[in-house]
Chains A and B, each alone.
Chain A
Amino acid sequence: MTHLYPPSPPLPDRAHARTLLRHMVLVRRFEEKCAELYTREKIRGFLHLYIGEEAVAAGSVPVLGPDDSVVGTYREHGQALVRGVPATTVMAEMFGKVEGCARGRGGSMHIFDAGTRFFGGNAIVGGGLPIAVGLALAARREGSAHRGSDGTRVTACYFGDGAAAEGEFHESMNLAALWDLPVLFCCENNFYAMGTPIEISHSETDLALRAASYGMPAWTVDGMDVLAVEDATRRAVEAMRGGGGPHFLEFRTYRFRAHSMFDPELYRAKEEVEKWKKRDPITLLADRMREGGMLDDDGMEEVEAEVRAEVEEAVRFAEAGTWEPVEDLTRFVYSEQDGDDGEAA
């Protein structure tokens, strides 16, 4: 039941291709800015960059509708931005400002946004998987009255190759398949869990093969090719809308940067990184668009300029943001009822 995804689907129309490109460029430039802001100590704590993996979010997230749900990882800026969480509130979150999408309390690893049904960055590896199963269970139980406009609501859950070694991976895959729940398992296989290469983590490194053993359709997809990512996601989501149960997509991708800002990258060769950079997802798409006569230098510069403005606006917004008053520290430990401030007793 596992399939290696065919080379690459044909280019879509210009407007659509441009949207895919723009999403990837947005994530790339946003994160480059984050890295810079980290060295200027505007952003603190852990910062995990998605640079190199943009095609996965850009190709898969927009396939979902507004009633679908997304469960992210701690490397989730890309997932959140493409989902439509405003760059302004994501950046403010990273600054720790109260205008952030989680009031600044979570930072980079904990982006939450109810409006876009973005159920968080989760900093416990594998921690989001059972949550996705539960969201899908709820969607299934709500039944037809609460169906999304085009059928069963889907919960897309992102996680890494490393997470696939956790017990929760097995338990969630089994539950989703057993109960036939509409979970789209999106494995971002970047071949490393921190410094541990996949061969050291998995006895069977073909993760789609493992997924198939639970009895769900599983495909291996070129995660550097945004068109392939989109095509595979569409097929999976279509099948799920029609009641097709859980699907597993293994996106083979690569992170160009260190695991986090603390990682001296002792575990991999520069040449390996350089080799992967030759398949930069942004360049891959841009080149194809150029070949197809959809993009020239001016067109590219236009995309860059739009993104630049969006990122600058996000930084301005975050800079202008305010610190949550210390008096509010104990708010939301418990839910706030009418006339009660929800403080811990």
Chain B
Amino acid sequence: MKTTYRAAVREAIREAISQDERVFLMGEDVGRYGGCYAVSKGLLEEFGEDRIRDTPLSESGFVGAGIGAALGGMRPIVEVMTVNFSLLALDQIVNNAATLLHMSGGAFNVPIVIRMATGGGRQVAAQHSRSLEGWYAHIPGLKILAPATLEDARGMLWTALEDPDPVLIFEHVLLYTMEGELAEGAGPVPIDRAATRRRGSDVSIITYGGSLHKSLEAAERLAGEDVSAEVLDLRTLRPLDTEAILETVTRTNRAVIVDEGWRSGSISAEISARITEGAFYELDAPVARVCGEEVPTPYPKHLEDAALPQVEEIVEAARSVLPRTAGVRR
């Protein structure tokens, strides 16, 4: 079945609302407007105001209300338009959602799912282009998902709703229009494992979300230079699938990490540290990273492009960790 990432997310929401009485969607402009990325278009008409709830501009208020509803037995899907605005709800997410279970000695779990768009690339400047999923991955108590494929867009939500704890789903803005084939019966997928999206033996490109597709393109280009690159899609940033990371690096002995987030104190730094801790003696070269430039994302295209990871940089980074003879046609 031909579909888009956007439609796959919508289908996942439809399924969840139809299958489980406790599920409802709430957020800014999810109803009448149809969702700021048109994800929930048509759902208000189909399910009514009780299940598709337009909220005022009150990120802290409605995310907190989602947490309360989850405590009260519901399974809310809270949509925050973009990660940028989730900063207004940071207190609720970090001090409440992530903390209550532990702080209550296990008495109160918070089964909430919070979805939001993330990432840059649309020339909407610094306050609308952040990639802060790695930042959220710092917080114990949260699970952080980054669906990058149609299967994951379709399948992660249900699994997240079944999870007893708070799950944040980050949808990269450039993926919504991505088209592709989705199996007719596509359904729930696991949310605790990374996935190998391309097999290779010379170098491991470790990435997630919007950067997956750039990494796959880079791997394709590298193939043209006789370099066999493996691409690992992390899918979940917390908990990290350390085993999968160490496994691929142990086979290829070289790693390039690609992340749109900033380099300092980042998820890419964490991955690199885990490689150092768990596979140091397997490495034939230092770990390389391709990250967002450490600036607030600028508006003009040429500067935004320069600020975000690009395919050519990934190719370069891969070359830099390969022995000098590699890449020369033998």
Question: Once the chains bind, are A166 and B29 in contact (CB under 8 Å)?
Answer: no
The 6 residue pairs across chains A and B that have the minimum distance between CB atoms: A195-B33, A96-B300, A165-B56, A107-B299, A201-B56, A45-B123
List residues of chain B with CB within 8 A of the CB of A323: 300, 302-303
Give the complex CA separation of A266 and B301 in angstroms: 30
Checking B56, B60, B128, B303 against A46 with a beta-carbon cut-off of 8 angstroms, the contacting residue is: B128
Q: Shortest CB–CB separation between residue B259 and chain A, in angstroms?
A: 17
List residues of chain A with CB within 8 A of the CB of B302: 323, 326
A104: CB under 8 A from chain B?
yes
List residues of chain B with CB within 8 A of the CB of A167: 58, 60-61, 88
Question: How big is the B interface, by class?
Answer: 35 or more
Q: Shortest CB–CB separation between residue A139 and chain B, in angstroms?
A: 25
- Whether A109 contacts B125 in the complex (CB less than 8 A), given A195-B29, A195-B34, comes out as yes
Dominant SS among interface residues on chain B = loop
Interface bits B119-137 vs A (CB < 8 Å: 1, else 0): 0001111111000000000
Give me the interface of A with B, judged by CB distance under 8 Å. 44-46, 96-97, 104-107, 109-110, 122-127, 162-163, 165-168, 193-197, 200-202, 263-264, 266-267, 323-324, 326, 329-330, 333, 344
- Whether A200 contacts B123 in the complex (CB less than 8 A), given A167-B88, A194-B28, A194-B36, comes out as no
- Whether A194 contacts B127 in the complex (CB less than 8 A), given A105-B300, A266-B34, comes out as no
Question: Once the chains bind, are A196 and B54 in contact (CB under 8 Å)?
Answer: yes
Checking A122, A123, A125, A329 against B57 with a beta-carbon cut-off of 8 angstroms, the contacting residue is: A125
List residues of chain A with CB within 8 A of the CB of B295: 329-330, 333, 344
Dominant SS among interface residues on chain A = loop
- Whether A202 contacts B128 in the complex (CB less than 8 A), given A45-B299, A323-B300, comes out as no
- Whether A324 contacts B303 in the complex (CB less than 8 A), given A109-B127, A266-B34, A333-B294, comes out as yes
Question: Once the chains bind, are B301 and A44 in contact (CB under 8 Å)?
Answer: yes
List residues of chain B with CB within 8 A of the CB of A105: 125-126, 298-300, 303
Question: Once the chains bind, are A329 and B306 in contact (CB under 8 Å)?
Answer: yes
B43: CB under 8 A from chain A?
no
List residues of chain B with CB within 8 A of the CB of A263: 33
Give the complex CA separation of A166 and B63 in angstroms: 13
List residues of chain A with CB within 8 A of the CB of B127: 109-110, 122-124, 127
Question: Once the chains bind, are A202 and B56 in contact (CB under 8 Å)?
Answer: yes
B276: CB under 8 A from chain A?
no
